[in-house]
Amino acid sequence: MTAPPDVATDDAAVIEQSWHEPERFAVIYDRYFPEIYRYVAARLGRDAADDIAAETFYAAFRKRDRFDPARGAVRPWLYGMATNLVGRYRRDEGRRYAALARVAPESRADGHEARVAARVAAEGVRPQLARALAGLSDGDRDVLLLVAVGGLRYEEVAQALEIPPGTVGSRMNRARRKLREALGGTDPTHAEENSHG
Amino acid sequence: MDDMRDDTSLVAALLDEGGPSPRVAAAGREGLLELARTGGREPAHQSGRRRGRRAGRWSGRLRGRRPLGIGLCLVAAGAAASVAVAAVGSGGAAPGGRSAPGPREMVLAAAVQAERQADGRYLVTHVRDCHAEPVEAETGDYIVQPCDETWQWRARDRADESAVWTRDLGARPQTARDEALWKRAGSPRTFPYHQDRRALPDLYRTAPTPWKEDRGDRNENSDRYVLPFTGRSLTAEELRNLPTDPEELEKLLTPAEDSPRGRRDSRLPTGPGQKIVQATLAVSDLPLPPKVWAAFIRMLADTPGVRAVGWVTDPIGRPGVALEAPRTASATGGGTSMERAIFDPGTGALLATVSTVVRRGPQDPAVYRPGTVEHYEVIIKSEWTDGRPSRPA
């Protein structure tokens, strides 16, 4: 599926078309499924993401007539729905971080060099980082991971979570402060890149 | 925002699990197209997965056999377990006439009572879920029992009308012996998650929390009802017309051979007690018509290996009649438990399910011993109303 130049406008048009031609919604799926999957998998693991990533699109499909382009773009709307679904599995998410704090990392296929570098750095502080994530409030963690994993801008996070932009900023600051405290002055930052597919 | 990149890229790298496999992407797309074709109704093979709201319930029942990335069918089923069961209100019928019928007759009599219950527009349920959490202490290990409650209502026929409220009751030492050990340990007010004390040092607390509505679940009532474990879902119409014959009903509650859920079930425990757990979960989220509920009780009573045990008391002291059967964890290291379903003899309503340790598995917490109640769920209330419910009292 080739995205037209103005994807945001086109996304909205596709959703509107899907009111009458439901199959058109597959265009939205094809565009965003990989990244929504990646986001959910980051929070709940692949096993859960196998189900919940698709659930996100089913929920979006069912609510497609409530999508309002005046309130923002389709992508953050999808991330908001994914975040809502993830929110139903808080304890599983907590257990995942608990396990990350403890378990030796499996080798995972990872092509991008910069991401490998970031991963190496992350492994060095893995227990602290995972514990810090577990210790964040739900709202702070949502904001942090929408930015860190989803790559959303503050205004997009605000749209996704339906909260004011100022709240996004304060939650993000709080989350990052806690991460820093948890890392206890270590400076493992060799990473320079945070692109996400 | 440059300095922020360092923190956030570390987090992203730590959590990265990669993108979807082609198979998963294709299956999801197929599900979406099916949804599109059916005009927005949930595809049957996906529908059970939305319910995973309270995955933590399985901490007791699964006892951490898969602490990470728990298969969604399990998560979904666990959540379904949170929702009360019966298609009938629980009324406290006195246990009279106990000399005449045998245990099996008593359960079957409850089924007859179930047939007579009336239903209404909304099913309101109030469920308590508790499990045994082992706590390590230098002064002696003990068990605390964290409990949470779910109060929920949902419309029988109309989609998008439902609400869910939850609260924690506060963890307490499970037995008098546990209480003594808890005091010896200094009466701590928080307890760690036993599978990772460092990461979750205070997951459970003695302090209760107030009722809180899970707004994300407001009006999430699907227009299809799900049969967890089975890979099937039903419209409200189909639900009204479920078979009232126990054998026909059993076929519907047995996982379809080719469903992905069927494959995942290989991880699940075995034995007739599993049938009690599985069947109870399968219908626990459904406003079943009274006659179907009656068929369900008969089906369980007829299951080979399931035995009737006559009068028992449920975990909150209500008298009932029970069916029970053993269940063995199939995963290595799992032990054997006795699974019990307790019914109200006056209404046929399910009062509770209780899981008790019979033989501890090598991977079970050392403090579990034969007789330890590792998990239970109590349906405090399950009743039909015609007026639209609001919030827990």
Test A42 with B199 for CB contact under 8 angstroms.
no
> CB distance from A3 to chain B under 8 Å?
no
pLDDT value of residue B221? 58
Name which residue leads in pLDDT, B203 or B257.
Answer: B203
- Beta carbons within 8 Å of B107's beta carbon, 6+ residues apart: B297, B301, B308, B321, B322, B323, B343
pLDDT at B50: 29
Searching chain A, which residue's CA lies closest to the CA of residue B40? A62
Residue corresponding to tokens 């801008």: A153
Confidence (pLDDT) at A103? 56
At B392, is the pLDDT very low, low, confident or very high (cuts 50, 70, 90)?
confident
Residue B390 lies inside a defined structural domain of this protein: no
Contact A42 B17 (CB under 8 A): yes
Contact B12 A194 (CB under 8 A): yes
Mutation to test the B interface, candidates A14, A50, A161, most B Cβ within 10 Å: A50
The alpha carbon of residue B368 is apart from the nearest alpha carbon of chain A, in Å, by 22
Which B residues, 69 through 108, put their C-beta within 8 Å of a C-beta on chain A? 69-72, 75, 79
SS3 assignment for chain B: CHHHHHHHHHHHHHHCCCCCCHHHHHHHHHHHHHHHHCCCCCCCCCHHHHHHHHHHHHHHHCCCCCCCCCCHHHHHHHHHHHCCCCCCCCCCCCCCCCCCCCHHHHHHHHHHHHHCCCCCCEEEEEEEEEECEEECCCCCCEEEECEEEEEEEEECCCCCCEEEEEEECCCEECCHHHHHHHHHCCCCCEECCCCCCCCCCCCEECCCCCCEECHHHCCCCCCEEEECCCCEEEEHHHHHCCCCCHHHHHHHHCCCCCCHHHHHHHHCCECHHHHHHHHHHHHHCCCCCHHHHHHHHHHHHHCCCCEEEEEEECCCCCEEEEEEEEEECCCCCCCEEEEEEEECCCCCCEEEEEEEEEECCCCCCCCCCCCCEEEEEEEEEEEEECCCCCCCC
Q: Which of A25-34, B39-48, B208-217, B276-285 ranks highest by mean pLDDT?
A: A25-34
B219 interfacial to chain A (CB closer than 8 Å): no
Identify the pLDDT of residue B330: 66
**B29: closest CA of chain A, how far (Å):** 7
Q: Which of A45, A85, A133 sits opposite B68 (nearest CB)?
A: A45
Order of strands across the sheet that contains B307-313? B212-213, B162-168, B147-155, B122-131, B373-385, B350-359, B336-343, B319-328, B307-313
Quick check: A39 pLDDT over 70?
yes
Given pLDDT bands bounded at 50, 70 and 90, which one contains residue A96? confident
Asked if B42's CB is within 8 angstroms of A97's CB, the reply is no
Task: Assign B142 a pLDDT band (cuts: 50, 70, 90).
Answer: very high
Model confidence at A142, pLDDT cuts 50, 70, 90, reads very high
Q: Which residue has the higher pLDDT, B91 or B325?
A: B325
User: Cβ–Cβ contacts within 10 Å for residue B223, how many?
Assistant: 15
Chain-chain contact of B19 with A38 (C-beta, under 8 angstroms): yes
pLDDT of residue B294: 87
pLDDT for the residue B332: 56
With a CB cutoff of 8 Å and minimum separation 6, the contacts of B69 are: A44, A45, A46, A47, A48, A92, A96
Domain count, chain B: 1
Question: Does A6 score more than 50 pLDDT?
Answer: yes
- On whether the CB atoms of residues B93 and B254 are closer than 8 A, the answer is no
Q: What is the pLDDT of residue B256?
A: 60
Task: Give residue A5's pLDDT band: very low, low, confident or very high (50, 70, 90).
Answer: very low
In a domain, B191, yes or no: no
Question: Residue A33's pLDDT band (boundaries 50, 70, 90)?
Answer: very high
Is B188 among the domain residues?
A: no
Q: Does B354 touch chain A (CB under 8 A)?
A: no
Task: Confirm whether B117 is domain-assigned.
Answer: yes
The verdict on a CB contact (< 8 Å) between A129 and B198 is no
pLDDT of residue A177: 86
Among the partner residues B13, B54, B203, nearest to A122 by beta-carbon distance: B13
pLDDT, tens digit (0-9, with 9 covering 90-100), for B103-121: 777 787 777 777 777 777 8
Residue A117 reports pLDDT greater than 70: no
- B43 touching chain A per CB within 8 A: yes
Distance from CA of B354 to the nearest CA of A (A): 22
Average pLDDT rounded to a whole number, residues A179-183: 79
Highest mean pLDDT among B1-15, B231-245, B288-302: B288-302
Q: Sorting pLDDT into bands at 50, 70 and 90, what band is B159? A: low
Position B155 confidence tier, pLDDT thresholds 50, 70, 90: confident
CB within 8 Å: B52 and A37: no
Query: In the prediction, which pLDDT does B274 show?
Result: 85
Determine the pLDDT at residue B93.
34
- pLDDT bin (cut points 50, 70, 90) of residue B123 is confident
The structural domains of chain A, with segments of one domain joined by +, span: 7-183
Pick the residue with more confidence: A186 or B134? Answer: B134
Q: How far apart are CA A78 and CA A55, in angstroms?
A: 11
Which comes out higher in pLDDT, residue B222 or A56? A56
Q: Does A122 touch chain B if contact means CB atoms closer than 8 Å?
A: yes
Share of chain B above pLDDT 70, in %: 72
ipTM > 0.85 for the complex: no
Whole-angstrom distance, CA of residue B266 vs CA of residue B119: 37
Predicted local confidence at residue B80, as pLDDT: 28
Tell me the C-alpha to C-alpha distance, in Å, between residue B116 and each of A152, B125, B301, B342: 56, 19, 19, 19
Model confidence at B57, pLDDT cuts 50, 70, 90, reads: very low
Find chain A residues with C-beta within 8 A of B42's C-beta: 58, 62
Q: Pick the residue with more confidence: B359 or A111?
A: B359
Å between B245 CA and nearest CA of chain A: 33
Q: What is the mean pLDDT of residues B148-168?
A: 79
**Residue B388: pLDDT above 60?**
yes
- Domain span holding position B224: 19-133+143-169+219-385
Are the Cβ atoms of B28 and A54 closer than 8 angstroms? yes
- Predicted confidence at residue A86, as pLDDT, reads 93
Range from A67-76, B42-51, B128-137, B210-219 carrying the lowest mean pLDDT: B42-51
> Is B19 part of the contact surface with chain A (CB cutoff 8 Å)?
yes
Is residue A190 predicted with pLDDT exceeding 70?
A: no
> Mean pLDDT for chain B?
74
Shortest alpha-carbon distance between residue A140 and chain B (Å): 13
Token pair for A184: 């206890």
Average pLDDT, chain A: 79
CA A37 to chain B, closest CA, distance in angstroms equals 6
Mean pLDDT over A173-197 rounds to 59
Report d(CA A61, CA A67) in Å as an integer: 10
Q: Do B19 and A42 touch (CB under 8 A)?
A: no
**Given CA atoms B4, B9, B14, B18 in this order, what sign does their dihedral have?**
positive
Residue B268 predicted with pLDDT over 80: no
Contacts of A82 in chain B (CB under 8 A): none
Residue A4, min C-alpha distance to chain B (Å): 21
In this prediction, residues A89-105 reach a mean pLDDT of: 77
Distance CA B310, CA B102 (A): 7
Q: Is residue B200 part of a domain?
A: no
Instruction: Look at residue B200 in the predicted model and tell me its pLDDT.
Output: 75
Q: Show the CA angle centred on residue B118, arms to residues B116 and B124, nearest 5°.
A: 130
